[in-house]
Structure 1
Amino acid sequence: MSSTPMSEEGPNMPRPQPHRRPTSQRNPSWDLLGGFKRFEHEYEEFDTRHASENHLAFAEGDIPQNRASKLYHYLLNVSIVTRWFLFIVPVLGILWIPAILQLTTFPHAEVWAVPLLWWSIWLSVVWGGWWGSLAVARILPSIIRSTVGVIAVSTRKYIDWAGALHRYVALFAWTLGIWVSWNPLVDNRQRDDASDKSRHIIDLIGKLLFGFYLCAAVLLFEKFSIQWIAGKFHERSYAERIADQKFAVRSLVTLYRNSSDIPGRSDTLKAADAKQNGVKILKRAMKGVRDAATTTTTALGNVASEIAGSSVLQPNSPQAMVKTALESANKSRLLARRLFYSFVRPGHEYLFPDDIARFFPTREEADKVFGLFDRDGNGDASRNEIELACMDFHREQLSIEHSMQDLDSAVGRLDNIFMSLYVIIAALIIAVCLEAQFTNLVASAGTLVLGLSWLIGGSLTEVLTSIIFLFIKHPFDVGDRIILEEEGYTVKEIRLLSTILLNDKGAYVQAPNSELSTMFIQNIRRSPPMSETFTFDVGFDTNFDHLETLRSKMLQFLSDNRRDYLYAFDVSVVDFPEQEKITLSADIKYKSNWQQGALKAKRRNKWICALKEALVDIGIFGPQGDPDKPAAPIKYTEVPWDEVKKQSKTVKHVSMPAPPGGWHLSDQNPGMHDSSDNVFDDTNELHLTTPVAGYVPPTQHAGDGSMTSEVSMPPGLPTTMPSVVTMPSHPEASSGDYFEMTTRR
């Protein structure tokens, strides 16, 4: 019986696998050597031109390119933690060198009878306290807003102020910390047998630290005062306007989200119209956030986010499309037409509230949104009304943004003025802390104030008047049309001490705010629907029935144009001078103010033309009667030709040939003879008809001893400048024709 040899592993044992190189089961990220190599590669390839912060960016070649420099700048840009680590730790190491020397080599080393160990501890508190205060001041407002701000909503604005002023809050906390830590860490560690000089120096440093703390407190109060002024002014002047604009933009976003692209029309807003500006919007929004974190007037800095909301992130989102459209007058009209054609019923020319009611949660909100377009309140909205509404939103958004920017600039200048006063107050605080005589200090300060009041008292009065005018009265904003002393202007720019205006002729006018504060200012933009009186003359034969018929026709015109005018017309008899004519007047009652000058002119012309047509239809004409009436016959007398011929022979004609060189009846440079508005040239030079090379007006002594100046003329030119030509009264008595010159007086 034969047998087959069996394998040692048996038939059920697994077969041996081919030999493979053992691999590590660790994640590659735990490979320290590989991680170090990657770290080394990253900092060697780091480009300082692409730094995370602007103040950390350097051009190529401006910094050393060795490994240490590259590593340092790379760590600065990794994160704020590594950056602060590089700022804090090396300096702390230097500050602890004296303590290490005392603990190791010089156990009795002292400065002003205080051991070096306590100096190192206190200096570490000073250095680390600043960074700790700064970190807490940056983090704490966010925590408080998420906790206390949720319950006490009214405290949010103060929390936002603290966040915007975190550096000043950190400075206040830091000066408080180093002053409080001075006594236990340094003052109390001084030896009892210290010299009087050492005690005096330690006490003086403590008083200076207390003075610095008071200066930081005053500085923080000044910054919060600026925030309070700006915030209160913002709430009073712009809060309502911003709320209305936010509601309008939110309504437009809702309507645009539910609108549709209109095929076959090129006059509606499309995605391509706003796509190119999407990235700009994002960059502008991010820039606004960064600016809001650094400016001292944060309440006024983020107007774009206040109006458009914080969801403008995607370039093609409805919010971004509407925001982009409202930045341009043309795109605002495109947006209006897209909304109109998307929701208007087929075959209709007007939009009704029911057409958009389904896009809003309640009927009340839908009616409120429709009221944005239905300015006349007649229950429908035409395409022109929607376009005018979108144009108003466009102008309002630009007006708010520019007004807030100018106000931010004005607040900045006010902050500079307050900082000048702060420097004086801080100097007085430091002087008191240095044990200066209080009476002498008050006397010196009083003398300084008295001298300044004489020197710059007028300027300080102007500044105070301008501050009251700008922040309390505030009669206009940027873009408002105003009337000053019967002259129309448009506000171009608002500054702290002056306002730049644009008059009707296109010229810029700089008006001091102190002068504007004493004037009567008519603000057209803030005015309700306005009216004007139109006066015209009619024939004396016009009777009462004519006037009543005129009133009926004009009321019919106003009914047909109810979107432009109020339904009111009354004609009044003003006067009938010498019974030759009747002077009538009527009021043009618009449904809007005159902020848009072109729209007002169009409606005024339309009203006057309708009045003219009504007068013609009724048969009311001017004092001269019907201009189309055939002219009356003209009577004339015929004179025999023989009599005319005989009379012409008896008239003697005087021959007046021109003198040599021709007549000089007028000056060739009359505009140069007026010296009243020329303060740079000599008076005699202005009377030269032609320029003379090398002309020097000599000075001679007159008979009375005074100095007189005469014009020295080259040969051939008259010594007396002609201005008036006098013709001889009897030319026939002379042997030849002549003319005579008289000097202009």
Structure 2
Amino acid sequence: MTYIGASEWGRQPLLPLPPAVKVPQRRRLFWWALRYAIVFIIIFIALLIPIIVFSKDADVDDDTTIDDVYANQYRNLVFYICLWLEITWIFAVFFDIIGLTLPYLFRFIARYVNSAHQRYWRVFKFMRRPICFLGTTIIAYVFFEAAIVGNPLLFVNVDKDPNSDVMAWDDIIDDILAQVTLWMAFYFIEKLAITYIAVHYHYRRTSTTLDRTKEVQRALISLYEASIYLHPVNGGTFAEEDVIIRNAKGDMNASTRVRVSSYLSRLGLDGYKFVSLFGNFISDDPKAHWLRPGSSYATIERALANPTSAAALARRIWLSLVSRGKYGLTANDIVEVLGPDRAAEAKAIFKTLDVEDSGEISLENLVGMVTEAGQKKHNVFRTIADMDHCINTLDWLMLLLIAAVMIFFIMLLYVPTIKEIQTTLSSLAIGLSFAIGRTLNHLLTGIIFVFFDHPFDSGDVVRICDPKMTAGIVCTVKRQSLLYTVFRRLDNNSDLQVPNDELFRKSIENYTRSEINKQRITLFIDFRTTFKDIDKLQSMLNAFVINNSGDYVPGTLGISVASLHELNKMELRIVFTHRNNWSDEKLRAMRSNKFYCNLVSTCRQIPLFKPGGMLPAAGENGNPLYTTQLNTSEVNENIQKEKLRRQGLRWDNEKKEEIGAQSENASEDEAAKKEAAAKKAEQEAFQKVSKSAPKKEVAVSTGVDVARGITGLRLAATQFEEV
């Protein structure tokens, strides 16, 4: 096959393709503002021209005829209508700009007034249209009432018959504007209700994340205050980090605001300190946030907003608190810095930050933790402004309901035929309510289930079962609607669609919203198993959990005897806690399989036997079944050999140079001592097994492998003495 132009392939352009052209954000914002201004100016000038043309036609001479008066009134009417449209257009743009700038204005004011409320600024972006529509309709109605209907200089209906029942056009427009203003008020209230539902809708999903980030933020506030006590802000040691932390954009020198604030600081005019004077006047509580933009809380809040500033904050805290020559932040470091009076607080702070119970926190782990906490916290409030499918559906239903009611009342007022068939329409509405009652019931149940019960969100891993049953289906929420929900089953990867009114009567366990999940394993062993073996099993499993603290929570493993089952077998219940919840099915299965494999290995090492497995089977040496005749000494010898063989497999077997039967010449006293020692060991094992789990040991986690090359800068107490 011959291709046309194949001889020119050698002159093709070099690869790869040139990078895609990206328009800077400032340039896009500039062109958007330019288009916005051009549209406003064009319409403004178009309405201004007739206003200027008809502005001098209001004067009436004494000798003016009635026809000239009508002509002048017509021109005055055009003037006031254009003036009304001009004022309405100006205020429409004004309220639209208010709706655009209100979120950013709120964020700016909250930064100086109370940084705790700064994160709600994205919610106001949803209110741009309601603010613009409501403000514009109010201004249009009020100015039309003042400039046209109630204007003493304008006789709109001078030739109207006063005895006529027909409404004039200005009265009709005035009444329609009043109805539309009322409609916009309901529209504004509806949007407020939708915003509240959205906040409540997303809070149920993000409450656990918010609680965790608040704990991390409180810990960072205390550590940051200790850091600036050791190394004051702009003191030289962490000058670069302080500039990045103070700058909301996480930049060193690209922000004009930073350069201006630095210039004002050199003049002794710091805006944060100036506003903080009012905050100190309002309250002397050091933990108060109002009018304190320079407080530790406000600083941490700004730093978490950007990954770069969050990393700088973590670096400053870690380097200033870790002792010189050390590679990790420990609880002793925090206790030494905060003092013995705050030892309990220091341990609580370290427990909050040491999520893996490794005993120390490296710089890489702290940077990742602080950055992740900031991203999670601000993603929560960003998703509130992103309306989901169900919220949008409810929004449209409420808008259609408001529109239908308002249109019905307007038609009832202006269409005479509607009044005549009002009774017929009422009967028809009642009949339709019975016909579609089932659908309305499904819709109302779905609204209550989705927005108020709100048991899950899209992407959550849940288990659905009947209220009185424990077995259920584990699946992922794929898509959610007001009438039904689509799940993806984890066992066979098939889609499952269930109506919401049926889910309303189910029991739902949400793994995604759970903090950490426990797993329970049931193990049946022989009834003759000693407590020493059970205690050994618990100690070996505890050691495994501690050595794998990145996957499991140390100190949470428990073994209990659940049942005896007619004294023919013993049921052990083993409970342990995963490090995370079960929202990640792959990670859950991997950790569960890892624990099961270790349990199998442990049972083989002890060893543990199945019910009835400690007795030798028929025909074995321990339970002989022969067709030949043996004397008593041979039978006893075989039984003793089997006992010794099984004893040699045990973990507590004492190795001897010669394995054989006990010496026939052993004294009865030695045998009694051995029997007493065995009983004592069994009794101690029984006490250990029957008590609660032992205290948690802390060791370095094997779940995280980080490079160690950076040490702290703080001089410890012993280093002070050496200096």
* TM-score class normalised by the smaller sequence: 0.5 to 0.7
For the pair 1:418 / 2:398, whether they are aligned, the reply is yes
1:195 aligned residue? 161
**Kept in 2: contact 1:119–1:186 (CA 8 A):** no
Q: C-alpha distance in 1, partners of 2:33/2:618?
A: 93
Larger Rg: 1 or 2? 1
**Kept in 1: contact 2:141–2:174 (CA 8 A):** no
**Kept in 1: contact 2:318–2:363 (CA 8 A):** yes
Q: C-alpha distance in 2, partners of 1:79/1:359?
A: 58
**Kept in 1: contact 2:219–2:352 (CA 8 A):** no
For the pair 1:317 / 2:325, whether they are aligned, the reply is no
**Kept in 1: contact 2:305–2:378 (CA 8 A):** no
Greater mean deviation of Cα atoms: 366-375 or 85-94: 366-375
Determine helix, strand or coil for the equivalent of 1:587.
strand
Q: Which amino acid aligns with 1:465?
A: T
What is the Cα deviation at residue 417 of structure 1? 0.8
Q: C-alpha distance in 1, partners of 2:338/2:129?
A: 37
**Kept in 1: contact 2:516–2:578 (CA 8 A):** yes
Matches within 5 A, 1:488-503: 488-503=474-489
For the pair 1:472 / 2:462, whether they are aligned, the reply is no
**Kept in 2: contact 1:529–1:591 (CA 8 A):** yes
CA separation of 1:419 and 1:520: change in aligned 2, threshold 3 A? same
Determine helix, strand or coil for the equivalent of 1:195.
coil
Q: Which amino acid aligns with 1:165?
A: P
**Kept in 1: contact 2:455–2:510 (CA 8 A):** yes
Determine helix, strand or coil for the equivalent of 1:570.
strand
Q: Which amino acid aligns with 1:317?
A: T
**Kept in 2: contact 1:483–1:522 (CA 8 A):** yes
CA separation of 1:194 and 1:401: change in aligned 2, threshold 3 A? closer
Q: C-alpha distance in 2, partners of 1:367/1:339?
A: 16
Greater mean deviation of Cα atoms: 224-233 or 463-472: 224-233
1:85 aligned residue? 41
Q: Which amino acid aligns with 1:108?
A: D
Higher RCO (C-alpha 8 Å, min separation 6): 2
CA separation of 1:623 and 1:364: change in aligned 2, threshold 3 A? closer
For the pair 1:587 / 2:554, whether they are aligned, the reply is no
What is the Cα deviation at residue 416 of structure 1? 0.9
1:223 aligned residue? 191
**Kept in 1: contact 2:560–2:573 (CA 8 A):** yes
CA separation of 1:509 and 1:537: change in aligned 2, threshold 3 A? same
What is the Cα deviation at residue 320 of structure 1? 8.7
What is the Cα deviation at residue 370 of structure 1? 3.7
1:457 aligned residue? 437
What is the Cα deviation at residue 521 of structure 1? 0.4
What is the Cα deviation at residue 124 of structure 1? 1.7
Q: C-alpha distance in 1, partners of 2:344/2:65?
A: 84
Q: C-alpha distance in 2, partners of 1:393/1:593?
A: 17
Q: Which amino acid aligns with 1:135?
A: F
What is the Cα deviation at residue 176 of structure 1? 2.6
Q: C-alpha distance in 2, partners of 1:372/1:410?
A: 36
Q: C-alpha distance in 2, partners of 1:499/1:405?
A: 23
Q: C-alpha distance in 1, partners of 2:134/2:543?
A: 68
Matches within 5 A, 1:370-409: 370-375=350-355, 380=360, 400=380, 404=384, 407-409=387-389
**Kept in 1: contact 2:557–2:574 (CA 8 A):** no
CA separation of 1:103 and 1:225: change in aligned 2, threshold 3 A? same
Matches within 5 A, 1:441-590: 443=423, 446-485=426-465, 486-504=472-490, 505-543=492-530, 546-551=533-538, 553-555=540-542, 564-576=553-565, 581-590=569-578
2:182 aligned residue? 214
**Kept in 2: contact 1:572–1:586 (CA 8 A):** no
Q: C-alpha distance in 2, partners of 1:477/1:234?
A: 9
Of 337, 352, 357 in structure 1, the residue corresponding to residue 330 of structure 2 is: 352
**Kept in 1: contact 2:563–2:570 (CA 8 A):** yes
* Number of residues of Structure 1 aligned to a counterpart in Structure 2: 512
1:172 aligned residue? 137
Q: C-alpha distance in 1, partners of 2:525/2:391?
A: 57
Q: Which amino acid aligns with 2:603?
A: L
CA separation of 1:457 and 1:150: change in aligned 2, threshold 3 A? farther
TM-score (norm 2): 0.55
CA separation of 1:349 and 1:307: change in aligned 2, threshold 3 A? closer
Residue deviations 1:666-685, cap 9 Å, x none? xxxxxxxxxxxxxxxxxxxx
1:138 aligned residue? 97
What is the Cα deviation at residue 184 of structure 1? 1.3
Q: Which amino acid aligns with 2:130?
A: L
Q: C-alpha distance in 2, partners of 1:342/1:629?
A: 68
Of 158, 168, 183 in structure 1, the residue corresponding to residue 149 of structure 2 is: 183
1:735 aligned residue? none
What is the Cα deviation at residue 386 of structure 1? 7.1
CA separation of 1:368 and 1:79: change in aligned 2, threshold 3 A? farther
Instruction: Provide the aligned C-alpha RMSD in A.
Output: 5.8
Of 82, 105, 117 in structure 1, the residue corresponding to residue 76 of structure 2 is: 117
What is the Cα deviation at residue 476 of structure 1? 2.0
Residue deviations 1:403-447, cap 9 Å, x none? 657743322221111111122112123124427589757535533
What is the Cα deviation at residue 458 of structure 1? 3.0
Q: Which amino acid aligns with 1:84?
A: F
Q: C-alpha distance in 1, partners of 2:361/2:349?
A: 12
What is the Cα deviation at residue 523 of structure 1? 1.0
**Kept in 1: contact 2:205–2:456 (CA 8 A):** no
**Kept in 1: contact 2:198–2:384 (CA 8 A):** no
What is the Cα deviation at residue 81 of structure 1? 4.7
CA separation of 1:347 and 1:452: change in aligned 2, threshold 3 A? farther
What is the Cα deviation at residue 464 of structure 1? 1.9
2:275 aligned residue? none
1:16 aligned residue? none
What is the Cα deviation at residue 93 of structure 1? 1.9
**Kept in 1: contact 2:542–2:554 (CA 8 A):** no
Determine helix, strand or coil for the equivalent of 1:125.
helix
**Kept in 1: contact 2:303–2:309 (CA 8 A):** no
Q: Which amino acid aligns with 2:406?
A: A
Q: C-alpha distance in 2, partners of 1:78/1:568?
A: 66
Residue deviations 1:128-167, cap 9 Å, x none? 2232243145348759958899889989879777556332
1:128 aligned residue? 87
Determine helix, strand or coil for the equivalent of 1:625.
coil
**Kept in 1: contact 2:311–2:370 (CA 8 A):** no
Residue deviations 1:198-223, cap 9 Å, x none? 97324334333332333333333322
Residue deviations 1:468-496, cap 9 Å, x none? 12221111234432111211122344444
Q: Which amino acid aligns with 2:487?
A: L
TM-score (norm 1): 0.53
Determine helix, strand or coil for the equivalent of 2:67.
coil
Identity of aligned residues (%): 20
Q: C-alpha distance in 2, partners of 1:429/1:398?
A: 45
Q: C-alpha distance in 2, partners of 1:421/1:466?
A: 17
Q: C-alpha distance in 2, partners of 1:174/1:252?
A: 49
CA separation of 1:317 and 1:587: change in aligned 2, threshold 3 A? closer
Q: C-alpha distance in 2, partners of 1:596/1:307?
A: 34
CA separation of 1:467 and 1:79: change in aligned 2, threshold 3 A? same
Residue deviations 1:650-704, cap 9 Å, x none? xxxxxxxxxxxxxxxxxxxxxxxxxxxxxxxxxxxxxxxxxxxxxxxxxxxxxxx
- Return 5+ residue gaps in structure 2 as ranges: 1-22, 229-249, 255-297, 466-471, 628-723
Q: C-alpha distance in 1, partners of 2:145/2:199?
A: 33
1:288 aligned residue? none
Greater mean deviation of Cα atoms: 482-491 or 500-509: 500-509
What is the Cα deviation at residue 522 of structure 1? 0.3
Q: Which amino acid aligns with 1:201?
A: A
Q: Which amino acid aligns with 2:330?
A: F
Q: C-alpha distance in 2, partners of 1:147/1:401?
A: 18
